[in-house]
Chains A and B, each alone.
Chain A
């Protein structure tokens, strides 16, 4: 199986319909973006438009479940890409010419979406708050311990992205080409975690404490403060983190 030609990555926050307005108000303020025109058959996709660079962050209205996060990989040929993903152990959930929905071996949902040629997109730039910068720039895939290696191998083979270095063995990192707006972090969940495979968005911030307080002022709740990151819950119930990484710093 040859690795995919991933040309862009979008991140979707799957938000229960009842909380969509709350999520939109929060995430536009938190990421210094504006809500674009809704897309999709039922206007279920709302793009968050950055001030500079191209959009990659979306809100998706979902009718059931508590919501969560998932990535879309933009590829020239979604059907061929889905076949490659299937050969690596992914399960296909639904498919059209333009979009294939799949689940990884561990059960994380993701999509393959058509991206034709043309000019390359530009990554959004960090938002600046009183000179402090923050940037949504990482998707953390939270994977149950039993299926962690399977999903790490799956993502590495599917994307062909090299593995980067991490400080602790609970984490692995895949470094996408520099033109993509997010990097992938994979977290091995603890043995007591029975929540299943899921994902969450990470923001980088010069000043993690100040950034987390700013999010609290916008209505988020701090759940946990760890050495390198702060875990929060947005007013719509989605979990995400603010991490102590300098925005735009090269990955390692």
Chain B
């Protein structure tokens, strides 16, 4: 099989257009295209400027998760994603009215979630800022699609609403993948110094390289 284990890469293969390419490689090319898209730098700088003007510093800290000590945005995304995913399950079960309410819940909670993400994004530059901008744009497109889905459902066009929700879910998958790339590959929101050993047992160094043993408590 072309592009399978024989390439020595990864065992996941995608057939069709990407025959011979691993899914991993396709995603890697997508990520590097986004990371290197320097034409995004000037719009990104303008958007950051607008957000900085709009967000009071205190709000920025809360949105970034300062009181929690962890980023807030990755926790908040579970609410709109959960609501929208559940809406599609309810569509399957024929619970159209409940599904519509969950689509609305997802749209409402997506707004503070996006704002929290914007606060995280303010600390980024370069490749991370480009990735963050595309992540936000794709997820905003997902939000618009779910808003259209809600409107269609509201007007009684249920099938259109169901299909728009599925399209929104597809966009959300792309946006979410970029969010994963930001955190797990680019390290946004990660403090590597948290991984430093808290304290060596009972010994340390002086600045001039001398080895000292501190008195033990025993």
Q: Contact at B193–A123, with CB atoms within 8 Å?
A: yes
Q: Which of A18-26, A113-121, A152-160 participates in binding chain B?
A: A113-121
Q: Which residue on B lies nearest to A114, using beta carbons?
A: B209
Q: Which residues of A contact B64 (CB under 8 A)?
A: 206-207
Distance A165 CA – B136 CA, assembled complex (angstroms) = 23
Report if B74 contacts A (CB, 8 A).
Answer: no
Q: Which residues of B contact A135 (CB under 8 A)?
A: 193
- Nearest CB of chain B from residue A127's CB, rounded to whole Å: 11
- Nearest CB of chain B from residue A49's CB, rounded to whole Å: 10
Distance A245 CA – B196 CA, assembled complex (angstroms) = 19
Among A54, A124, A125, A132, the residue within 8 A (CB) of B194 is A125
Q: Contact at A52–B198, with CB atoms within 8 Å?
A: yes
Q: Which residue on A lies nearest to B210, using beta carbons?
A: A116
Q: Mark A46-68, 1 if CB is under 8 A from B, else 0.
A: 01000011110010000000000
Q: Contact at B207–A125, with CB atoms within 8 Å?
A: no
Q: Contact at A248–B192, with CB atoms within 8 Å?
A: yes
Among A113, A123, A165, the residue within 8 A (CB) of B208 is A113
Q: Which residue on A lies nearest to B211, using beta carbons?
A: A118
Distance A132 CA – B199 CA, assembled complex (angstroms) = 23
Q: Would you call the interface of chain B mostly helix, strand, loop, or mixed?
A: loop
Report if B215 contacts A (CB, 8 A).
Answer: no
Q: Which residues of A contact B196 (CB under 8 A)?
A: 52-53, 122-123, 125
Q: Which residues of B contact A55 (CB under 8 A)?
A: 207
- Nearest CB of chain A from residue B37's CB, rounded to whole Å: 13
Q: Contact at B61–A131, with CB atoms within 8 Å?
A: yes
A-B residue pair count with CB separations less than 8 angstroms? 106
Q: Which residues in window 36-53 of A have CB below 8 A to B? A: 39, 47, 52-53
Q: Contact at B126–A165, with CB atoms within 8 Å?
A: yes
Q: Contact at B191–A119, with CB atoms within 8 Å?
A: no
Q: Contact at A249–B192, with CB atoms within 8 Å?
A: yes
- Nearest CB of chain A from residue B30's CB, rounded to whole Å: 18
Among A125, A130, A245, the residue within 8 A (CB) of B123 is A245
Chain B CB within 10 Å — which of A118, A124, A130 has the most? Answer: A118
17 contacts between A and B (CB under 8 A): A39-B208, A47-B207, A119-B205, A122-B200, A123-B193, A124-B193, A133-B191, A165-B126, A167-B126, A244-B123, A245-B123, A247-B191, A248-B194, A250-B187, A250-B192, A252-B127, A252-B186
Interfacial residues, chain A to chain B (CB-CB below 8 A): 10, 39, 47, 52-55, 58, 74, 98, 113-116, 118-119, 121-126, 130-133, 135, 165-167, 178, 206-207, 209-210, 227-228, 244-250, 252
Closest 9 A/B residue pairs (Cβ)? A131-B66, A248-B191, A250-B187, A248-B193, A246-B123, A115-B209, A122-B196, A167-B126, A125-B193
A178-B192, A227-B45 known; 19 other A-B pairs, CB under 8 Å?
A53-B193, A53-B196, A116-B209, A118-B209, A119-B200, A126-B191, A132-B66, A135-B193, A167-B41, A206-B64, A206-B123, A207-B61, A209-B52, A209-B57, A246-B123, A247-B193, A249-B190, A250-B187, A250-B192
